[in-house]
Amino acid sequence: MPLYMDVHEFKGTSTAEVDQAHAADLKEQGKYGVKYIKYWFNESHGKAFCLVEAPSPEAAQLVHREAHGQTAQTILEVQPELAEAFLGGGETDPSGAVLAPSGAANERDSAIRTIIFTDIVGSTNEALGDDVGMALLGVHNTIVRDALAAEDGREVKHTGDGIMASFVSAVAAVRCATRVQRALAKHRQEHTEHPLKVRIGAAAGEPVEREHDLFGATVQLAARLCSHAQPEQILVSNVVAELCLGKALPFKDLGDVSLKGFNRPIRVHAVEWSVAT
C-alpha cells in the first residue's frame, strides 16, 4: 500500500489537541483501509506531519474529515526508504508522536532536518590516477562516516565525490562538518604528497516545502551551498546559523549570495573552524 506524508497547519494548537486529533484518526482509519503510523509536531511553527499508509490520498483525507474535520493542506506520496533515510525510524510515545532520538526525556521530534553535502575538491581519479583517487575517496568516506557516527547523523546517499547526510540537530550537523574538516586537515599534514580537500554545505528545513517534495528545497540549497563553498570551507544557510544560536559555534556572516535555482539571494554563513590542538 502506498505511503504518504500529510501536512497540517495547526497554528495555536496545543500538543494535547494534536494528540487527540491523532487518536480520533486511529478510531476511524479502519473504515477506509488506512493506517496512520506516526506523526511529528512542530509546535513553534504550528505544523504536524503524519506518516500514513493508505490506498489513496483521498482515503487519508476522509479519515481526517470524519475524525475531527481538520484535513491536510498537503499530502505527498513518499518512498519508505526515502522517509527512513531523511527522518529515521523514530520511536514514538503512546500517543503516536515521534520522540527526538536524544535530549530531554519525552522530547518530541519536530521533523525539521539539517541536510549536509560533502564534495571532494577536484577530480582525484583524473589528476592522480584511479588507484590513488580511490584511496583518497576511501579516506573521505571513512572520515565523514566516523563524524556522522559521532554526531548522530544519517547517511542518505553517496554522491560519487561526496556524501549527503541528514541530522535532527543543526548543532550536530555543524559539529560533524567541523570534525570532518579537522580530520582532513590532520590527514593533509601527514600526507603532503596527496592533499585531500573537501567543501561542505548545509541547510535546514521542514519535510514538505513549497516544491511538494520530501526536503526538496532544503536539499537543493545544501547542494548549492556546497558547490559555492571554497576548498576546506563550510557554508550554511541562515536557518542553520539561527538554530545554532547560543551554542558557542563560530560563524562568519557572508551576507546575501545569489545561488543557481533560487530567485532571491540567500543569506550565507561560513563556519569558522580550526585544527583541534
CATH at 70 = 3.30.70.3090
Q: Output the pLDDT for position 277.
A: 42
CATH at 218 = 3.30.70.1230
Strand partners for 256: 267
131 band by pLDDT with thresholds 50, 70 and 90: confident
129 band by pLDDT with thresholds 50, 70 and 90: low
Helix or strand run (H / E) with residue 239: helix 238-243
Mean pLDDT of 110-130: 81
> Domain of 256?
113-271
127 and 253 both lie in a single domain = yes
Average confidence score pLDDT of the chain: 91
Q: Which residue has the higher pLDDT, 131 or 73?
A: 73
| Cα gap 54→32, rounded to integer Å | 8
pLDDT digits (tens, 9 = 90+) for 148-167: 999 999 999 999 999 999 99
Of 56-60, 121-125, 185-189, give the lowest mean pLDDT range.
Answer: 121-125
129 and 193 both lie in a single domain = yes
pTM, to two decimals: 0.91
C-alpha grid cell, residue 124: 582525484
211 band by pLDDT with thresholds 50, 70 and 90: low
C-alpha grid cell, residue 169: 540537530
